[in-house]
Structure 1
Amino acid sequence: MSVNSDPYIWLEDINNPKVIEWIRFKNMKTKEFLSDYPDRLRPRVMKYYEIPTVRIARLTRKGIYLLINEKLEYRVYRLNNDGSKDLIISSRDLGDNIIIKWIYLNEDGDRLIVSYSKGSDIGYYRLIDPFSNEVLDELYGSLNDFVWIDKDRYYYVRFYRNEKTPDNMDPPAERIFLRSNGYEEMITSITPPTNYLIALSKSIDSSKALLTISHGWSRSWVYAGDLDKPDYWVKIFGDDKHLFYPVNYVNGRYIILAYDGNGLGRIVEIKDNNIRELISEDENFPLKAVETTFDKILALYLVHGSSCLKIFNMDGNLLEVHRFDPPGSVGLIQCIDDTCIFKYETSFIPYRLYLYRDNELRVIDRIEINSEIFGIEEFWVESYDKTPIHVFRIYNRKCDNKKTIIYGYGGFGVSISPVYASYLLTFIEDCGSICIANLRGGGEYGEKWHRAGKRDLKENVFQDFISVVKYMKNLGYDVIIMGSSNGGLLTAVTMIRIPELLNGVLIGYPLTDMLRFHKLYIGRLWIDEYGDPDNPVDREYLLKYSPYHNLKPGVKYPLALIYTGLHDDRVHPGHALKFSAKLDEIGVVNYLRVETESGHSGANPGVKLNELLDILSFIYKVFGLKP
């Protein structure tokens, strides 16, 4: 295929009836291949999948609000001080096949915004009184970062993905709006150019607006000002080379998280135009998130991919260190007044919800699986250039069938830690194992680790992953590789590079055409990470690994399941469709699954279950396991 021609570009038009019919045919072939495996696996998977899981936890002065995946729907609860839960709203109340993507609360807990869609990044935002369930307002679009001034006024950030902003800036771009009693106005003091994004929050005392203006995933600047005076919001920190984020404004000083230096993260304060370092960089491990009360700093570190919480006083003196067993992931950390909450999870623990107050850390809600067969271990693999690559392995303590799934991502500074994966526990019950590789391009070892796997250094990511595959093959394992989004790009490249070492490939919601990604949906935002296909220098290295352009006839590629969502408006489904069509052209059997009720943001739990069952069925088919 000439790089200047694209015989399958017609598959990018997902509204074309010819494309819809082609998808229907490919889905049918996949269903025939999977046979009755999904139905046979369903009861076993449901044992773990129907366990409630906390997706979001938000602290307010009137209780903790939880978004929970439960009974094949999303439900919003209020967790009261006595441990009881009040149901506020469910996804079924909002329509069929609805996913509740996020919830936003004011600090007093009497205003709730529910973000929902059918999997698209574009959706509805319903403002309700969580005590009366009265609907107060509703917005539509791609919105985030709702910040209240008072009960009746709030800011939010709107993302323009296709159309120009009101001030005529080309997309993709973002703008801040002030909403009051159904009317709104754009904030004109903060109007960054195309390809810049805005994050908005406020200080713990509600006096200051705190903003991050970012370009790509390697540069950002901090802006701030009085919350109710947006015309006077100004830049207070940042350069043109590093990442900086506002943490809080406490007792007359701004607290900033800075990824300059070695890129591992340090905390500085700004007071009366003077800058002072509060907490210096760790020598080895990155600082991933920071929150504060009025007198404590809660700093979340990542130690070889596992979360570790350190608590400091406001002068930067270390008070406490909390590690979590087994190794896992801490997130959703949030503080109001003197209280903080966060969620912990790992591969076989759905969640623990922690509360920190009065120098005490305690679990206030939890669901854990009572099983002695699941275990986590860690090991290291040497990459092609001697760089050590850290790997988690989730396994069955009582048996090992020498079949493993290797998962990777390696991009955008995203750190991959063990999280609850309900549907894969069935595979581990049957003596399989799952390896999670912490590759360059991620954030597991700071910003330098990220930059070592982006743009023209992307090859490091592929070689890191290939090294893990070779390591497991040398130990006698059969291997299926798995990744989604940027990880789907990774598995597609790996399939082409080392087909002889793989038993199967799972390519989820992928990028595969690296010469056109910037022309599809919001792909222009990713130029900073991948490079610009319109730049001859960048195009040269992109072409070397672009999966769509590197498939070759006559090669015995492993069996692949390529899966995407028709409503994925982040990574265009055309990437998956075209890659499957190209495999068909060169005579390589492959299976394509296109979910018609989901997108990149996900699907409702019932629809998602069907996708996960098909993925697991593919694994069982390829490995020759009985469901």
Structure 2
Amino acid sequence: MSTPSPSGSARVTTGLSSTDDPFLWLEEVEGDASLTWVRERNATTSATLAATPEFAHTAEQIRTVLDSDAKIPGLSKIGDLYYNFWKDAEHPRGLWRRTTLEEYRTPEPAWETVLDLDALAASEGESWVWHGASVLRPEYRRALVDLSRGGADADVTRELDLVTLSFIEPEEGGFYRPESKGGLSWIDDENVYVYTDFGPGTMTPSGYPRIVKRWRRGTPLTTAEIVYEGQPDDMAVHAFRSHTPGYVRDFVARAIEFYRSELYLVSGDELVKIDVPASAEVGIKRQWLLIELRDEWTVAGSTYAAGALLAADLEGFVAGARELDVLFEPTATTSLAGTTWTKNHLVLNVLDHVRNRLHVFTPPGTDDTTTTAAERWVSYPLTGVPDMGTVGVSAVDSDASDDVWLVATDYLTPTTLSLLPLGSAPEELRAMPVFFESDGLTIDQHFAVSEDGTRVPYFEVRRADLVLDGTAPTLLYGYGGFEISLTPAYSGGLGRAWLEHGGVYVVANIRGGGEYGPRWHQLALKQHRHRAYEDFVAVARDLLERRVTSTPHLGVQGGSNGGLLTGNMLTQHPELFGAVVVQVPLLDMRRYSHLLAGASWMAEYGDPDDPAQWEFIKTFSPYHLFDPARTYPPVLFTTSTKDDRVHPGHARKLAAAMIAAGKDVTYYENIEGGHGGAANNAQAAHMSALAYRFLWERLA
């Protein structure tokens, strides 16, 4: 589940009492009784599901993919060098490293190690997990590095010298932020913005910072000066500087709730609000303001559609002008997937029936041309994009060139990375190796009809010669929340563990996601949540009706919000499925807003403490929908003790309730891993193998 740059702790002071909830004690994350229960479940799973030769083989096959030296090293251009974070068998926690573009073009590029996380973890006795780094521009000599213990969202920030490749300790004047959700961001060599846990009252109910300060090098954190203080019930705040040459500006961002925010331009000692709808997303580059609408907006006598992308001159807009150019307006089949600035252009990535299409826009005045209305924002489509697959585009250096990285993939085609100078032919730099045999496999897109008549797309990967007799083991995957789109992607692990053995893989693009823009998402919010589940059921039934599979051979898998989805399939439609996998899930929707980051998701699900809203929330709360008298398919629950975003108590409590009722439950909780479920490739391979082997043994 996506949340702002992140520690929260479980609060068990409201909601159900221990009398109402006999498993409330499992919310004590590292309590002796809770961990004893977890270890007992883990031991059972390790002695059964994970003890077979087939499991060991699957885990090894997946880990081979994850550890492969032939994977594509993704690049970030920082100054004249290209940085990459890399994991393999010898470096399970990872290397932050760098090279030149010329060297990267060679078959075996030489890399300079900037930071070895395995060596650091060993020397400091910590289970460090990489959370990223921010390099100070324009000198590129220092970086703020975020490190998490065990993969939790809460992390520490340390300053790294990119010349000496050593940390600058606090006693030497280096910046250091103690463990918390939050972060540091560069202002200049001597100053940073800091948003973190400053003590009681400084964190929001969602567990994120609500105060941002300016902190000068060499001074105690306690002396940092407040720049902005959000409201007590806000979701989060942070601040940052745009270092674009000639357009250096500072901003404060206030997240009111998940889909409502405000952006302020720092002007001296004043904050000037960018006056757009709170639901809109704002982007600023050089003199341009981009506004992506989630809701319809009427301004200066014109009405703009939800999902549209608007452009304006920033200075003019701040001064009160409302001259807006429409760069994109959604249709019944299209939505905006993303935007990328280069030095002279803006690239729009558009989804059309969940297939990417790229368009290049040139803003007025780029080539000293006139800027009459007819000549504003000239555009052309970028051709050569695969028809059935996912294409990602990002700028190589948005201040210095018009080059972009182009990443293309689908379920059967290994991912490729190309360097594309806009207006020229792409240069393929790297291709992921073939990790599984795909000959004879095919990708198709189908549409199911949901209960209210809505057509719901889904992708299906299977053997082209599959006999439609209802016997194929089929894995149906979904998410359906937070305006996140599920698009095709190559997975060596999926191919080796599932597709090579004859399994069918299906991805459902249900409402709640972003496949058709904000409207597709908003149609499944709060009291309309049932639509996402009806869509998923429609896809499942379509598979059954087409005889691709049958109930004994149909399994479902989902994580986080997708775990809530599969939890609802388990409790609402147990008759449809032969096995269910529920990963790092939300399940107790009565208490979710009181656990860790849960309060930040009330814009998605509603407020269970409001009796009127609880009336609809309880209809999709799997923990409350569980009926000991009903028959349920076998279920696997997985979660992580270190997940400080979605509380492990969700999975623990429903699993405990089902075990007490004598149901077929398999449970495994990784001690490390955070919300991703794993802290290194070995753990990731183990967790994936649990899901694939559980499903295969139950469905095949």
Confirm or deny that 1:175 pairs with 2:222: no
CA contact (8 A) 2:406 2:420 kept: no
Confirm or deny that 1:67 pairs with 2:85: yes
The equivalent of 1:317 in structure 2 is 378
For the residues of structure 1 that align with 2:200 and 2:680, how far apart are their CA atoms? 28
The equivalent of 1:556 in structure 2 is 631
Helix, strand or coil at the partner of 2:635: strand
CA offsets per residue over residues 100-144 of structure 1, 9 Å max, x none?
Answer: 122323344333333222110012223212342121243233456
Q: TM-score, normalised by structure 2?
A: 0.81
Return closer, same or farther for 1:398/1:8 CA change in 2, 3 Å cut-off. same
The equivalent of 1:384 in structure 2 is 451
The equivalent of 2:499 in structure 1 is 428
The equivalent of 2:171 in structure 1 is none
For the residues of structure 1 that align with 2:334 and 2:25, how far apart are their CA atoms? 47
The equivalent of 1:473 in structure 2 is 544
Confirm or deny that 1:27 pairs with 2:42: yes
Q: Which amino acid aligns with 1:257?
A: E
CA offsets per residue over residues 230-275 of structure 1, 9 Å max, x none?
Answer: x3332112224x222223233xx43433334332231221342323
For the residues of structure 2 that align with 1:116 and 1:348, how far apart are their CA atoms? 34
Map 1:262-273; keep pairs closer than 5 Å.
262-269=305-312, 270-272=314-316, 273=319
Helix, strand or coil at the partner of 1:515: coil
CA contact (8 A) 1:120 1:568 kept: yes
- Specify which of 293, 298, 305 is matched with residue 258 of structure 1: 293
For the residues of structure 1 that align with 2:311 and 2:218, how far apart are their CA atoms? 39
For the residues of structure 1 that align with 2:260 and 2:86, how far apart are their CA atoms? 34
CA contact (8 A) 2:389 2:489 kept: no
The equivalent of 2:520 in structure 1 is 449
Return closer, same or farther for 1:458/1:238 CA change in 2, 3 Å cut-off. same
The equivalent of 1:87 in structure 2 is 113
The equivalent of 1:129 in structure 2 is 161
Return closer, same or farther for 1:583/1:219 CA change in 2, 3 Å cut-off. same
Map 1:227-246; keep pairs closer than 5 Å.
229=268, 231-240=269-278, 242-246=279-283
CA offsets per residue over residues 532-581 of structure 1, 9 Å max, x none?
Answer: 11101111111122101111123220100000000111011000000001
Q: Which amino acid aligns with 1:248?
A: K
Confirm or deny that 1:337 pairs with 2:337: no
Return closer, same or farther for 1:49/1:311 CA change in 2, 3 Å cut-off. same
The equivalent of 2:30 in structure 1 is 15
Return closer, same or farther for 1:372/1:29 CA change in 2, 3 Å cut-off. closer
Map 1:483-494; keep pairs closer than 5 Å.
483-494=558-569
For the residues of structure 2 that align with 1:219 and 1:620, how far apart are their CA atoms? 42
Q: TM-score, normalised by structure 1?
A: 0.90
Return closer, same or farther for 1:314/1:361 CA change in 2, 3 Å cut-off. farther
Return closer, same or farther for 1:363/1:103 CA change in 2, 3 Å cut-off. farther
Give the deviation of 1:67 after TM superposition: 1.9
The equivalent of 2:151 in structure 1 is 119
CA contact (8 A) 1:485 1:510 kept: yes
Q: Which amino acid aligns with 2:166?
A: E
CA offsets per residue over residues 170-202 of structure 1, 9 Å max, x none?
Answer: 954433333432445244235344233336552
Q: Which amino acid aligns with 1:593?
A: Y
Map 1:28-43; keep pairs closer than 5 Å.
28-34=43-49, 35-36=51-52, 37-43=54-60
Structure 2 portions without partners, runs of 5+? 1-15, 169-173, 297-304, 365-376
- Specify which of 406, 417, 428 is matched with residue 353 of structure 1: 417
CA contact (8 A) 2:206 2:599 kept: no
Give the deviation of 1:57 after TM superposition: 4.1
CA offsets per residue over residues 439-481 of structure 1, 9 Å max, x none?
Answer: 1111111111111111100000110111111111223312110
Return closer, same or farther for 1:341/1:197 CA change in 2, 3 Å cut-off. farther
For the residues of structure 1 that align with 2:185 and 2:322, how far apart are their CA atoms? 27
Helix, strand or coil at the partner of 2:426: strand
Give the deviation of 1:38 after TM superposition: 2.1
For the residues of structure 1 that align with 2:631 and 2:206, how far apart are their CA atoms? 44
Q: Which amino acid aligns with 1:89?
A: L
- Higher Rg: 2
Helix, strand or coil at the partner of 1:336: coil
Structure 1 portions without partners, runs of 5+? none
Q: Percent identity?
A: 22
CA contact (8 A) 1:173 1:194 kept: no
For the residues of structure 2 that align with 1:358 and 1:280, how far apart are their CA atoms? 20
For the residues of structure 1 that align with 2:195 and 2:429, how far apart are their CA atoms? 32
The equivalent of 2:356 in structure 1 is 307
Give the deviation of 1:163 after TM superposition: 4.5
Return closer, same or farther for 1:331/1:33 CA change in 2, 3 Å cut-off. farther
Give the deviation of 1:298 after TM superposition: 1.8
The equivalent of 1:49 in structure 2 is 66
CA contact (8 A) 1:296 1:312 kept: yes
